[in-house]
């Protein structure tokens, strides 16, 4: 079946990120912070509650919470925004991400091209994170096509496997050249 919708993961597929810039503050509490972050990513708490949960873990009297929490990103895209814009001329293009409101709003403010996707399926909005079935079902509803018509790129093997289990054409992200090669194999100009 031909591809009608192309969906990209956000972190480490479109935008690089690493928790290394927060290493000093996360020393000794990284696991606890990641548990809280996972809850925040599925909308189980809002930004003020998330800050309140982090405060005793990483040092509470921060005036720069948002700046601190967003230091994980490098704003050099892994795929050129022009490529995404070009794909949108012939296909629906979506974003499927395990993310939180703070990170997503920050990235859209710094990289406005992220708002130009045809749809965004975001874990904090749908209450489910990859590889849970619910987030893929939400993306399918937004895509408005058969699962077999979706081509998906993600950097996490288990997320690719979950998409394939739903019938998606899914590829592990290995950089721009590999994405372009995959698109070409599917007859899609990039």
pLDDT in tens, 55-109: 999 986 778 899 999 999 999 999 999 999 999 999 999 999 999 999 999 999 9
pLDDT of residue 190: 85
Q: Is 79 helix (H, G, I), strand (E, B) or coil?
A: coil
pTM beyond cutoff 0.85: yes
Helices 101-110 & 47-58 angle (0-180, nearest 10): 100
Strand partners, 122: 97
Over residues 111-123, mean pLDDT: 98
Structural tokens at position 173? 């992200």
Confidence of residue 13 (pLDDT cuts 50, 70, 90): very high
**How far is Cα 15 from Cα 74, in angstroms, rounded to an integer?**
7
Three-state SS string over 99-162 comes to CCHHHHHHHHHHCHHHHHCCEEEEHHHHCCCCCCHHHHHHHHHHHCCCHHHEEEEECCHHHHHH
CA distances from 2 to 57, 87, 130, 169 (A): 49, 15, 24, 10
Average pLDDT, the chain: 96
Q: Is the pLDDT of residue 116 over 90?
A: yes
Tens-place pLDDT, residues 125-159 = 999 999 999 999 999 999 999 999 999 999 999 99
Cis peptide before 50 (omega within 30 of 0): no
Confidence of residue 175 (pLDDT cuts 50, 70, 90): very high
CATH of domain 5-16+75-185: 3.40.50.1000
Q: Where are the domains of the chain?
A: 5-16+75-185, 20-69
pLDDT top residue among 63 and 50: 50
């Amino acid at each position: 079946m031909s591809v009608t919708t192309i969906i990209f993961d956000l972190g480490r597929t479109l935008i690089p990120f690493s928790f290394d810039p927060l290493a000093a503050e996360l020393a000794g509490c990284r696991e606890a912070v990641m548990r809280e972050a996972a809850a925040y990513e599925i909308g189980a708490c809002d930004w003020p509650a998330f800050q309140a949960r982090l405060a005793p873990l990483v040092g509470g009297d921060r005036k720069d919470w948002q700046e601190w929490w967003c230091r994980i990103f490098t704003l050099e895209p892994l795929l050129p925004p022009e490529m995404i814009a070009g794909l949108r001329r012939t296909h629906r293009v979506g974003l499927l991400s395990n993310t939180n409101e703070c990170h997503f709003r920050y990235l859209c403010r710094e990289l406005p091209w992220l708002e130009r996707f045809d749809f965004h399926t975001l874990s904090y909005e749908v209450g489910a994170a990859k590889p849970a079935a619910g987030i893929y079902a939400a993306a399918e509803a937004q895509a408005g096509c058969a699962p077999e018509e979706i081509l998906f790129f993600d950097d996490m093997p288990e997320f690719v496997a979950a998409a394939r289990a739903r019938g998606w054409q899914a590829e592990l992200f290995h950089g721009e050249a590999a994405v372009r090669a995959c698109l070409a194999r599917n007859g899609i100009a990039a």
